[in-house]
Structure 1
Amino acid sequence: MVTAALALLPVAYLGVRVLESGGGAVADVLGRPRTAELVARSLTLAAVVTAGCVAVGVSLAWLVVRTDLPGRRLVGVMAALPLAVPSYVAAYTWIAAVPRVNGFTGSALVLVLVSYPYVYLPAVAVLSRLDPAMEEVARSLGHGRARTFLTLVVPQLRPAVAAGGLLVALYVLGEFGAVSIMRYQVFTTAIYTSYRAAFDRTPAAVLGMVLVAIAFVIVWAEARSRGRAAYALGGGAPRTRTPDRLGGWRWPALGWCAVVLGLAAGFPVAGIGYWLVRGSSASLDLAALGSAGWTTLYVSAGGAALATVLAIPVGILVARRRSRPVRMLEQATYVGHALPGIVIALAFVFFAVRFAYPLYQRTPLLLLAYAVLFLPAVVGAVRASVLQSPPILEDVARSLGRRPLGVLREVTLPLAVPGIGAGAALVFLTCMKELPATLLLRPTGTETLATQLWTETGSGAYAAAAPYAALLMLLAALPGYLLAQRLGKNGVTL
């Protein structure tokens, strides 16, 4: 119940603020031409980025899994690394190197480059598990390669691609750092500006409610389009597939992979390196850098630990009991994932000021926001691990006299440890990259690598921002690499 209450707090906050403001104030905000313009801007950016991520992610997945692409194993590992590149770091490197690449074009480019792994990883998982016998039968019946792919592979790939595309669309709707650096006004930047610039928080709350409504419409539309689609991956023992030969297209395909990987991972690293070596405005403050790095690790670890503690009972209940109340509890935990970080932050500011003022601008409030934002990552990982362990093991333990807590401690949790660890690591990585909630909720005088980077780039001090960007990417690289390996191998959707 505590987990569900925390997860639903942001929606309750928005409802209270909108009701308190009255119908006239709400109608005034909704009737502004600026609101309609923000809707169009946000939806257009989300649509373009989602389409771009589907095109890039599916093409890379097919080349890595299904063809004789030269060096495809290395390409397969490298293609997932942009998962560890924060969007605002990528935006910083692009705007510093090519100032004209800003606005809508720059935002779309950066977000496609950092978001396509959300489509790539599940697509790789599905393509790797498809039984080649199904396609061989289709080919033996006279279907060509293209027709077989379109009629047999694409329908089985569609649920994974749709799920990845949904995550990309929700991520773009809640994006703040990259669009701010690229100077492109969308809902999140308007909400942040309204919150900071005015004493009346009603416009920010109304805009937040509109953004939440858009997010839920997108989730509903994705579920409707997916319908009853499911994977038909085949059964029996897996066997080696003969890669499709690219022939004369091998080197152009490798060139395409090199371009994507170079822009998504190589360019940010090169840009940061340039400003570290050549920047003239940098005055490296090792004490500030070390303090920001330590704070980033501290709050990220705290957020991951709190999210894990809240998620473990939910994940176990969802895996073992599929009653209606349990399903509702699971759905409640996913509410925070559909909301932008800035809306979550506003909700916790409201909660602290009204009901828990000692927590206002204190670390525990920031950790609670992290837990609500990224709770589904641990819930899903725990649920998957528990489902993989046979329930009969728990039945045997109970038959031997173990009480429920003993069964949980001695059987269920040890078997779920790999999933719990993967979920906690994913939350740790995501907390390090989170920006809007950190900006609004961090204690006064406390800076993380993300907030320091945002501050320096906001004033155009790109060389001064480079050490913070470099350390942030360095800290995120190892967990990002390990998670990409695990998630891509096991087919876990982020």
Structure 2
Amino acid sequence: MTTPPRTLPDGPSPLLRWWATGLLPVLAFAVVAVVASPLVFVGIQAAQSGWAQVQRLLGRPLIATLLWHTATLTAAVTLATAVLGFGAAYLVERTDLPGRRWWTVALALPLAVPEFVRGYSWVSLSRSVHGYWGAVLVMTCSLYPLVLLPVAATLRRSDAAAEEVSRSLGRGPLATLWKVTLPLTRPALAGGALLVSLYLLGEYGAFAMLRFTTFSTAIFTQYRLGFDAASASLLTLVLVLLALLLVGLEAGTGRRRRVTRRGATGRRAAPTRLGRWTLPALAALTALVGTALGVPVYALGYWLVRGSSTTLPQASVLSAALTTLGYAFAAALVATAAAVPVALYAWRRDTRLARTAERAAYLTRALPGIAVALSVVYFAIRYATPLYQQPPMLVAGYVILYFPLALTAVRAALAQVPPGVEEVARSLGTRPAAVLGRVTLPLILPGLGAAAAMVALTASTELTATLLLRPTGTQTLATQFWIYTSGLAYGAAAPYAALMVAMSVPPVLLLTRRTLGPNTRPEN
């Protein structure tokens, strides 16, 4: 007698079955449409300009200057973060570097310092840090962990077979690094570099403090000071074209190639012995952490001690902190939940349409916060008037701005799902809805936590969009900090900056743990 195949217990079948079969594509495209809505706003505003105004604006010498500043800064910082991120990841994951676990955490902690706080730290200590090289320094120190974490995660989870074969063929450590390890991490390296590049296109606060003009600072000036939405939208379209170019370049790097994971027979690569290079490696990492983390911590401590008499009462700081946390957590939950259908659709349906939808969601990361904020205001006034100047507007702005971060984390989690796991569950008679609820989602749960942590971390320090979308009378840590630094009251701004950094540390630690997972290698 034949025994019927075992089935996994079904979840709430009617709703989940609808989700798994017909609702998933609908939800995915609906989310992408909402996230990409600022592009529609930019197009509408730009279309209101006549051809004569377009020619006049794009023909100005300022445009060439802005393009040069933005392009050269993006190229320099992206290259620097790629080199530093890959090099640091290789040292902590593939060598016998002493204290690898400690270095992993220390190298990721600069993510806890917002870019405009880092700019404030350098500028408040030395007015000589400004312009192009100041921007390269500050942004490189801020963004290299975006490359470090995915590359380190790839190295930690990958099988050692290819590298061991390379060494058995007589290749030295450097040749193996160049021929095997670097290609192995290429998808993660390209994904991290894309995030860095898109982040640079839309950054405003740090560049304003460093007095370095880019498209984002020019767009803010046109919107906020010149009240010229049409001209600002034309400048924003240039940023969108640059973002399209970057997304296209990243798409050609094989980002979707699966990484061979360590299974039952997989092994970690034997650590490369640094030998006489141990002290130089430790010195290099010390210099990197000291520059990226030590300078901001020192500056905050200096101004907290020197300027403590000028700060507001503690109640004001506490109120701003609670408000910041509430909005950040709300945005993290919504963005992570919204990223799930888009990532699942792109993962299951590896078609041109699915890839286009996924990449379209990344474009808003290149938009300045003020452009996203004004698009939310535009649609709220016309289609959701009761929500105007209400908390959902600010949450919506955060979700649109940081949805690409959530999507990246969820997509990376899906890429680590063992091939064929869903097919195996289906072959046992499990329905698609139960496979989703009982197999896929539990496997990517750590990735969902990383996505929520990343969104909460960045939303808690968002400045530009917050200035426009916050309800009347609402103050966050970022807005209070900006008010004081605009008046050069560095001592008064220090408590708000310090609290933003302190609040960002737990999400960074969680993000590091979720992204990298356990390290089974013994310490030296």
- Which of the residues 371, 374, 378 maps onto 1:343? 371
Moved more, 265-274 or 313-322: 313-322
Moved more, 367-376 or 278-287: 278-287
| AA aligned opposite 2:282 | L
CA shift in 2, pair 1:52/1:317, >3 Å: closer
Residue 134 (str. 1) matches residue 165 (str. 2): no
| AA aligned opposite 2:297 | V
**Match in the other structure for 1:182:** 210
**Is the contact between residue 348 and residue 365 of structure 1 (CA under 8 Å) also seen in structure 2?**
yes
| AA aligned opposite 1:179 | F
Aligned length: 487
CA-to-partner distance for each residue in 1:165-219, whole Å, 9 max, x for gaps? 1211111111111111111111111111111112331111111111111111122
**Match in the other structure for 1:25:** 53
SS at match of 1:61: helix
- Once residues 367 and 457 of structure 1 are traced to their aligned partners in structure 2, the CA distance between those partners, rounded to angstroms, is 25
Task: Mark the runs of 5 or more structure 1 residues left unpaired by the alignment.
Answer: none
**Match in the other structure for 2:195:** 167
**Match in the other structure for 2:318:** 290
**Is the contact between residue 175 and residue 340 of structure 1 (CA under 8 Å) also seen in structure 2?**
yes
SS at match of 1:335: helix
**Is the contact between residue 57 and residue 117 of structure 1 (CA under 8 Å) also seen in structure 2?**
yes
- Once residues 351 and 256 of structure 2 are traced to their aligned partners in structure 1, the CA distance between those partners, rounded to angstroms, is 23
Structure 1 ranges of 4+ moved more than 6 A:
none
CA shift in 2, pair 1:412/1:48, >3 Å: closer
CA shift in 2, pair 1:140/1:303, >3 Å: closer
| AA aligned opposite 1:182 | L
- Once residues 287 and 432 of structure 2 are traced to their aligned partners in structure 1, the CA distance between those partners, rounded to angstroms, is 58
**Match in the other structure for 1:391:** 422
- Once residues 119 and 172 of structure 2 are traced to their aligned partners in structure 1, the CA distance between those partners, rounded to angstroms, is 43
CA-to-partner distance for each residue in 1:394-448, whole Å, 9 max, x for gaps? 648976xx895x7766666555544333322221112112222112211222211
**Match in the other structure for 1:368:** 396
- Which of the residues 100, 107, 120 maps onto 1:92? 120
CA shift in 2, pair 1:4/1:246, >3 Å: closer
**Match in the other structure for 1:55:** 83
Residue 223 (str. 1) matches residue 251 (str. 2): yes
- Once residues 412 and 368 of structure 2 are traced to their aligned partners in structure 1, the CA distance between those partners, rounded to angstroms, is 26
**Match in the other structure for 1:428:** 456
Determine what percentage of the aligned residue pairs are the same residue.
45
- Once residues 229 and 155 of structure 1 are traced to their aligned partners in structure 2, the CA distance between those partners, rounded to angstroms, is 13
TM-score, normalising length: structure 2: 0.85
CA shift in 2, pair 1:383/1:342, >3 Å: same
- Once residues 382 and 74 of structure 1 are traced to their aligned partners in structure 2, the CA distance between those partners, rounded to angstroms, is 26
Equivalent residues in 2 for 1:97-176, closer than 5 Å: 97-176=125-204
Residue 451 of structure 1 deviates from its aligned partner by 1.4
CA shift in 2, pair 1:192/1:55, >3 Å: same
CA-to-partner distance for each residue in 1:239-290, whole Å, 9 max, x for gaps? 2443222222211211111111111112211211111112266233222211
- Once residues 477 and 245 of structure 2 are traced to their aligned partners in structure 1, the CA distance between those partners, rounded to angstroms, is 34
Residue 131 of structure 1 deviates from its aligned partner by 3.9
- Once residues 132 and 309 of structure 1 are traced to their aligned partners in structure 2, the CA distance between those partners, rounded to angstroms, is 35
SS at match of 2:517: helix
Moved more, 358-367 or 93-102: 358-367
- Once residues 381 and 115 of structure 1 are traced to their aligned partners in structure 2, the CA distance between those partners, rounded to angstroms, is 16
Residue 452 (str. 1) matches residue 452 (str. 2): no
CA shift in 2, pair 1:75/1:271, >3 Å: same
CA shift in 2, pair 1:382/1:119, >3 Å: closer
Residue 419 (str. 1) matches residue 447 (str. 2): yes
**Is the contact between residue 156 and residue 516 of structure 2 (CA under 8 Å) also seen in structure 1?**
no
- Once residues 361 and 135 of structure 1 are traced to their aligned partners in structure 2, the CA distance between those partners, rounded to angstroms, is 57
Equivalent residues in 2 for 1:54-73, closer than 5 Å: 54-73=82-101
- Which of the residues 263, 272, 275 maps onto 1:244? 272
Residue 323 of structure 1 deviates from its aligned partner by 5.7
**Match in the other structure for 1:209:** 237
SS at match of 1:433: coil
**Match in the other structure for 2:282:** 254
| AA aligned opposite 2:494 | A
- Once residues 151 and 408 of structure 2 are traced to their aligned partners in structure 1, the CA distance between those partners, rounded to angstroms, is 18
Residue 34 (str. 1) matches residue 34 (str. 2): no
SS at match of 1:53: helix
Residue 331 of structure 1 deviates from its aligned partner by 3.5
- Once residues 288 and 456 of structure 1 are traced to their aligned partners in structure 2, the CA distance between those partners, rounded to angstroms, is 13
Task: Mark the runs of 5 or more structure 2 residues left unpaired by the alignment.
Answer: 1-28, 520-524
Moved more, 63-72 or 414-423: 414-423
**Is the contact between residue 244 and residue 363 of structure 2 (CA under 8 Å) also seen in structure 1?**
no
**Match in the other structure for 2:507:** 479
Moved more, 466-475 or 419-428: 419-428
**Is the contact between residue 315 and residue 382 of structure 1 (CA under 8 Å) also seen in structure 2?**
yes
**Is the contact between residue 311 and residue 495 of structure 2 (CA under 8 Å) also seen in structure 1?**
no
**Match in the other structure for 1:443:** 471
- Once residues 100 and 311 of structure 1 are traced to their aligned partners in structure 2, the CA distance between those partners, rounded to angstroms, is 42
CA shift in 2, pair 1:138/1:333, >3 Å: closer
CA shift in 2, pair 1:380/1:335, >3 Å: same
| AA aligned opposite 1:456 | Y
**Match in the other structure for 1:10:** 38
CA-to-partner distance for each residue in 1:9-43, whole Å, 9 max, x for gaps? 11111111111222112222111111111111111
Moved more, 435-444 or 305-314: 305-314
**Match in the other structure for 1:278:** 306
**Is the contact between residue 82 and residue 264 of structure 1 (CA under 8 Å) also seen in structure 2?**
yes
- Once residues 518 and 216 of structure 2 are traced to their aligned partners in structure 1, the CA distance between those partners, rounded to angstroms, is 34
CA-to-partner distance for each residue in 1:86-123, whole Å, 9 max, x for gaps? 11111111111112111222211111011001111122
TM-score, normalising length: structure 1: 0.90
**Is the contact between residue 7 and residue 335 of structure 1 (CA under 8 Å) also seen in structure 2?**
no
| AA aligned opposite 1:150 | W
- Once residues 396 and 223 of structure 1 are traced to their aligned partners in structure 2, the CA distance between those partners, rounded to angstroms, is 33
CA shift in 2, pair 1:120/1:313, >3 Å: closer
- Which of the residues 76, 92, 96 maps onto 2:104? 76
